[in-house]
Structure 1
Amino acid sequence: MSVYKAGLWLFLANITAQLGGYVFWFIAAASVRASALGEVAYTVTIATILTTLATLGVPTAMMRLLPASSNQRYAQGAMAHALVAATATAAIALWKPSIAILAVTGVIANYYTAYFQAKLDTKPIFNATLAGQAARIALAPILAPYGPDALATTYAIPGLLIALYGVVRSSVSPKPFGLRELIKAGISVWLPNAIAMLGTNLGVVTAYNLAQPEEAGYVYIAQVLANAAIAPTIIITGVLLPYLSSLAEREGVAKKANKLALAMSTPLAAVLILGGRHILALLGPQYTEAADALAVYATANTLLLTVTVLSSLVYSQGKYRHVLIGGLASNAARVLLYILMGTSDIGVAASFLIGTVIALAYYSAIAKNVAKSAAILTPRLVAIAMPAAATSAIGILLAIPGIAISYALAVKMKIVTRREIGEIAQQVLPNPLYTKIAPLGAKILDILD
């Protein structure tokens, strides 16, 4: 499977998860109070924290070592670690069954997701996500009367399916091979990622404990919606780490990946920044309170794309110490600021943004050439965002042609070239479909030229 096609399946899985999450939240918002949604967000967040802490970064290390060495036994060692981590997580989380279910499922699902990504075989991730989100949506109105814990437990369904799918599709058995190397490589990225996870998710926990459950719900909804701005870029970034790890010349690929990812996400981020209030109103008038936080998160996520590309480049080069320092510096700042500013959703979002800026500054100093290319691109990115921003401020429907104009400008201004569009289309589309679409696409591009 090609890199772009592998990324496409991840993108479709991400979009499916986003859409499923939105529909789930629409149903839940209509069925329970905002404070109950805050309870759900709190439960899911605690489980996410436990899951990430338990992995020790081993799934990410497997994505680095398996493609670089072609030694399948790294997958066996990673599975052995996953089983031990899942057992330990279950013991820790027994005080609340819903958290235990989510955390254990998350640990196992993380392993299989990383395994399929390392093999560039990402279609199973999409299949599991599609079936899991459909099940969540169907169960939401049924489980709503049973309280927040019942609703929260539905988050385990996609992970459970990817785990079951992994058992069936892969022939990997747990063996303690390469654990020292896996953990060594994993720790270097796990510690900053763990801090990053805390930096992202402790906002919900802080808002829940320092303010009201409603504030935790607003923070969570703002985070979920803001992720829509960067969802399409998973075509580019989803398998970037294992791909870079298999290359000798990495900087050129990183520059291209960053450029394409920003071109995809910037118009969508502009819609959320200026039109987010209209989108939130669909959930209910009370949710427009999260509009400012949504704008800040959308801004942070756009910057985070470049951070992701730069950190993936640095990690693929084996510079683990720099990944550790960058992750610690940026996310420790987030956690500290949550404590100081966590009494409101906008305070939590601002804390996240500041941490992102710190990470961007640090990795830019390490990967100067790629960072410089991103800086040169910035004025053109601002220009293409204008149509999407202006139309979304008026209404949701008008945002659609605004986004189309923004993407047309990306081609017109040579941010994305015809060759790059053709390359992506040829790899992600089935050949019969590509053959039919290519002539029409060429005519449209001729007009833009």
Structure 2
Amino acid sequence: MKSFLPGSLVSQIIVGLVAGILLATLWPEAGQAVGLLGDFFVDALKAIAPVLVLILVCAAITNHKKGSQARMGPVVSLYMIATFSAALLAVAASFMFPVTLQLSGTPEVMSAPGGLAEVLRNILLNMVDNPVNAIAQANYIGILAWAIGFGLVLRHANDTTKALMFDLDKAITKIVAYVIRLAPIGIFGIVASTISETGFDALLGYANLLALLIGCMAVMALVVNPLIVFLRIRQNPYPLVFTCLRESGLTAFFMRSSAANIPVNMELCRRMNLDEETYSVTIPIGATINMAGAAITITVMTLAAVHTMGIEVDFLSALFLSVLSAIAACGASGVAGGSLLLIPMAASLFGIDNATAMQVVGIGFIVGVLQDSAETGLNSSSDVLFTAAGSYKQGDPYPRKLPLQEAGLAVPAPVQAPAE
């Protein structure tokens, strides 16, 4: 144990992954029993994440020094570009490889947004939610709004109050570090219980749909995202891309919650020595609005229903679907399956009734064992990817606190000041 604990967290997670698969295969009953370990780990992260977001964002704004250049604008812009690009990619892939579904029977009635106006209304109302309730219900839009508000007000507080916020920041970060060390054991329990309970037999009937969904997400992660980053930093983006996928995407894949993966992303940004004033705000924002995977899921599932019913789709309708999916994805919940309930809203654009759309949602939950995992891995890993890319500006005479060599990025040499 002494030699195992100080080692690489990724290596330990891989060991836990392999052990979970072996246990579920050889002893399914035990695989279900150790699911408690996975539940304990994910619940611990979900419990600490709302408090972490509130304190870190509030502390970052409170202690923000005048003249410092926290680059949140470029990061949020990259989030928006990537989410819309993902929707466009999903539309193109759905027309190149059309998929049809087997729809029959009466689906279970579930609560889903009735339209884009309702999604926007929910976002606005969540922003003014009671702060205590926002933390209790993990309403990250409300938490962010209150954290920013408190931070802006506390910027004018005395030095003692600012020091307290700084100490709270360090304390909550330390607690999160201890929780993250449980990741190998937690993922061992998650994998063992998931394979024991569901297996993969139910997924074989939807192999084409899964291939299209995961294929789009793979292209987004390995082609589109690197292209967006390259246009920003003008360097080879793949070392950074692979670092984010390995260190963040792997844990997000198994936890299936962008919100629960916030502490992992915070720790990765700290190890990459990114500007804390930037990532303490952009990572929580990313878990809320950087939803390329959700945009892909909404678009692909909607167009699968469209193809099944033989509805003709013109270019303008497809373009509007991309815009609608991107906006709706930003309002998707940061928990497992959050994007699926937005499918009926997108399907209504083509006149598909709610009962049929809810059957598509039901299929989404069947394939969600892999689809939602891949979606979360893409969403969460790109939070760090775009935070790093947005924090970097090519040609800076004196690069800010950004030694990205650990992630494989070369930082330009500082420009010497002219001699007097």
- TM-based fold match above 0.5: no
TM-score (ref. length: structure 2): 0.26
More helix by share: 1
TM-score (ref. length: structure 1): 0.25
**Which structure carries more relative contact order (alpha carbon 8 Å, separation 6+)?**
2
